[in-house]
Structure 1
Amino acid sequence: MKLAMIGGGGFRTPLVYSALLRDHAPGRVTDVALVDVDASRLTTMARILEEQARGVADAPHVSVHTDLAEGLAGADFVFSAIRVGGLDGRARDERIGQSHGVIGQETVGFGGISFALRTLPVVMELARTVARVAPDAWVINFTNPAGIVTEAMSGVLGDRVIGICDSPIGLARRALGALGLGGRRDAELRYAGLNHLGWVTGLRVDGRDVLPDLLARPDLIESFEEGRLFGAEWIQTLGALPNEYLHYFDYRRDVLQADQYEPSTRGRYLAHQQGAFWDRAGTSESPLAAWRLCRHEREVTYMATNRESAGMGERDEADILSGGYEDVALALMRGIAHDERARLVLNVRNRGTLRELDDDAVVEVPCLVDSAGAHPIAGAELPDHGRGLVVAVKYVERQAIEAGVHGSRAAALRALARHPLIDSVNVARALLEDATSSFHDELSHLH
């Protein structure tokens, strides 16, 4: 099989390649095409993957491409992982958000909407190119904001685009670990929501839901990252385990205050850190070692202001482990290509799964994967306290899609003004003005 990775010069590419190197089963991926607009990063990334592959006799062949159609030709699967505007764009979103007293994080609130507005025209062109050059390929979307991007691309590709996020599986893994069940790969996860806006509502092991056992023990709740982030009392009050990104909603004022005291935003920190990494890796005898060090630094500082606002201190080494999205991606590909059935939490069209939303709304729920694609499993249910928030945010996502795909400035303003983290139409209008000024070329389609 051939896998084309769009944004193949991106930082997470070695994680995906490591999963491919571990797969020796018949019908595996044998060719990987890295596609990126940055030729220099492609060259360095190819060196990293070459170093990863040393000693692996059947390692997938890697090619590099700056021409999209060339890289897509003959692809069975396409990974989309691009960042329009780069990390500098993320830093600008954060700065604009802070200047108006709102959260500017890249997938939540203003930052997520701004990111979507400049990303959607690019991913829609990608979707059309896939449909033309590789019509039988399946697109696995990692591009943020993943729910919005997946739903927009589904307008061209239908159910052949599926979104992936590692937050749900990471949360479930840590919760099971707290119960001493970390090795149970047969646990049945019940999860419902949107991307970066969902809750674990059940964890079935041997036919019994063990989530109530966890919720009854404050000491166990606060033994893992999300438990310490939200606090045992609040999680017990909710009666469900929230995705880490809900911390921006539940503790908005606390996060904003912590952001104000930070000397640098997350985007600015990553831009500096990864800029230094690319300079170092380009000339290093072991670019893989440089990548591993940079990745560890990145994970150690993940959601640092949120943790600071909760008084958590440093991350535990166990929490720094990858959530496993590369393994989910591999299971998804094998499930579709070889009818190897798997149960995975994915971003797919609702198809009646969550009764609060229409069939075409992309939701994040457990799915059954087979040769026909990913099918949401009946029974996913939002907790009562989350229904209104999900409906409100889905409206915002739809308005962002209208703005990003069709260039409606009015829809962009509606998306900002109706987002739960933005509390004034005047602030929404000012945010939009600053975004269109700062990203003049990327947002020139708005009218």
Structure 2
Amino acid sequence: MKLTIVGAGSVRYALQLVGDLAKTEELSKKGPVVSLMDINEERLKATEILARRYMEELEVPVKIEATTSLEAAVEGADYVINTALAYPRPEGADGFAAYEKVVEISERHGYYRGIDAQEFNFVSTYTYVFCSYYDLTLALNVARTMEKYAPEGWILQTGNPVFEITQLLTRETPVKTVGFCHGHGGVHEVCEQLGLPYEEVDWQVAGVNHGIWLNRLRHRGEDAYPLLDRWIEEKGPSWESRSPWDVQMSPAVMDMYRFYGMLPIGDTCRNGSWKYNYDLATKKRWYGRFGGIDNEVERPKFHEQLREGKRKMLELAAEVAADPSIRLTERWPRLFSRERRSGEQQIPFVQALECGTPQRLVLNMPNRGVIEGIPDDVVVELPARVDGEGLHPERIEPDLTPRIKKMYLWPRILRMEWALEAYLSRDIRVFEEILVRDPRTRSFEQVQAVLRDIWALPFHEELRQNFPMGGTT
């Protein structure tokens, strides 16, 4: 078996996936090949060094390869995990710097938190200039390469925007594609807050990526939603956020629950309406004292944390390369654990298909009638049983509320369709029309000005070539 990780220069995340594979004995004992791929040679080398040492310490026959060639990485692969973030890179900076610059320009033109902060899509860096041209292009290139070099393989789409990319690939390529996200992990927090042992809870979520809802919550056969209602009354007023990411039990979530009739899970509450996002003060009211992670204070901090994390991984790799006596599992056991797995779903998915070991996973795949009222070809996120025979989505019971479908899912699906329309048509007028409908827009001249300034950024040459400003009216 060959498993490829595209975007392995992320270092930490790639190492988590490799670690999960190594600690899954059914897979690791088969001597699988892991091909690490990235265009950043320095970070790729760091991942390779650390992955090889990690496998040596775990004493598993997992072969590690590394390459900057997508063709070499993909050739003969059974599974390709695409984790890459394909933002353009300003000279001497990273992709996050490009995103921050776009936000800065947008705000000068009256678009708080950037033109990509949109109703039902407020998660920072989920999209880049509406259609995420760079991410979609990379993913499509991976799929086209697989058509030639690994036609029977699976793409495990992990990098954002998962909804738009998975949708594009399922429509435009024959390659088997499934999308991954860990947002459903919010169910653990709900159970903990309600005092329910997670193992005893019968739960189900359904919706679209970053837009899933807890349609079923039962404990020992009884509906557990009354316990949530009691928590809101008794503990909701005293709830406090412990970090910018701690929003699962926030006032925004409970407000959305009261309006839509089911509890939003994971990142869903970050993708609500402008009601929760007008400004930093509004965000703090609804998401707690940090205002969540999607604001002008916490998001830049997070980007710097990611940068610092990568720097530390590079330093660690250099140290390991110079000293064969270093034991990663002893000095950094939290990252290089001997037994604990990351909780990510990609390796359990591979295990289910390769070994026939059934797994219940929450996946992104075409609806095909599972959620009533949603087109069959639209990619949805829902639980599925995965085994040696394939993917078997669960019946959604009870159904999502009509209000969730009509006032949340349908508008979010339209935004996905607009993004793909822009990407496939290469017509800048689609971007203009999206902004014309933005409540922050006061004139068409404002729309033209913000796009002109964003397009003029020196690292946006590819955008200018593919979406010429001459297409404006």
TM-score of the alignment, normalized to the shorter chain, above 0.5 = yes
Change (3 A) 1:150 1:234: closer
- State whether structure 2 residue 270 is matched by structure 1 residue 247: yes
Q: 1:193 aligns with which of 207, 228, 233?
A: 207
State the distance in 2 between where 1:263 and 1:398 align.
26
Paired residue for 1:319? none
Paired residue for 2:375? 358
Paired residue for 1:389? 408
State the distance in 2 between where 1:348 and 1:200 align.
18
Give the superposed CA RMSD. Answer: 3.5
Change (3 A) 1:418 1:182: farther
Query: Comparing 354-363 with 65-74, which one deviates more in the overlay?
Result: 354-363
- State whether structure 2 residue 223 is matched by structure 1 residue 209: yes
The amino acid of 1:171's aligned partner reads: G
Q: Deviations over 1:369-425 (max 9, x none)?
A: 233433432326333332222211211111211222342222333444456x76667
Offset, 1:267: 5.3
The amino acid of 1:87's aligned partner reads: F
Structure 2 portions without partners, runs of 5+: 88-94, 241-245, 285-289, 322-327, 469-473
Q: Deviations over 1:194-241 (max 9, x none)?
A: 111221121234444323322332246648741135365664554422
Give the secondary-structure state (helix, strand or coil) at the position aligned to 1:92: helix
Q: 1:177 aligns with which of 168, 172, 192?
A: 192
Offset, 1:22: 1.7
Query: Comparing 241-250 with 330-339, which one deviates more in the overlay?
Result: 241-250
Change (3 A) 1:237 1:154: closer
State the distance in 1 between where 2:204 and 2:442 align.
35
Offset, 1:364: 1.2
Q: Deviations over 1:341-375 (max 9, x none)?
A: 32221111111222332111111122232334334
Paired residue for 1:139? 155
Aligned residue runs from structure 1 range 133-172, under 5 A = 133-158=149-174, 160-168=176-184, 170-172=185-187
The amino acid of 2:277's aligned partner reads: R
- State whether structure 2 residue 315 is matched by structure 1 residue 283: yes
Change (3 A) 1:201 1:408: same
State the distance in 1 between where 2:313 and 2:395 align.
47
Q: 1:230 aligns with which of 249, 252, 257?
A: 252
If the length of structure 2 is used for normalisation, what is the TM-score? 0.76
Paired residue for 2:429? 410
State the distance in 2 between where 1:407 and 1:400 align.
11
Paired residue for 2:4? 4
Change (3 A) 1:393 1:56: same
If the length of structure 1 is used for normalisation, what is the TM-score? 0.80
Offset, 1:14: 1.9
Give the secondary-structure state (helix, strand or coil) at the position aligned to 1:392: helix
Change (3 A) 1:167 1:424: farther
State the distance in 2 between where 1:446 and 1:148 align.
19
State the distance in 2 between where 1:215 and 1:323 align.
34
Offset, 1:96: 3.7
Offset, 1:268: 3.9
Give the secondary-structure state (helix, strand or coil) at the position aligned to 1:123: helix
- State whether structure 2 residue 383 is matched by structure 1 residue 373: no
Give the secondary-structure state (helix, strand or coil) at the position aligned to 1:440: helix
State the distance in 1 between where 2:341 and 2:436 align.
33
Q: Deviations over 1:35-77 (max 9, x none)?
A: 0000100111122323433431115221111000101112111
Paired residue for 2:65? 63
State the distance in 2 between where 1:325 and 1:94 align.
32
Paired residue for 2:466? 445
Paired residue for 2:90? none
State the distance in 1 between where 2:254 and 2:80 align.
40
Change (3 A) 1:14 1:69: same
The amino acid of 1:363's aligned partner reads: V
Paired residue for 1:272? 304
Give the secondary-structure state (helix, strand or coil) at the position aligned to 1:441: helix
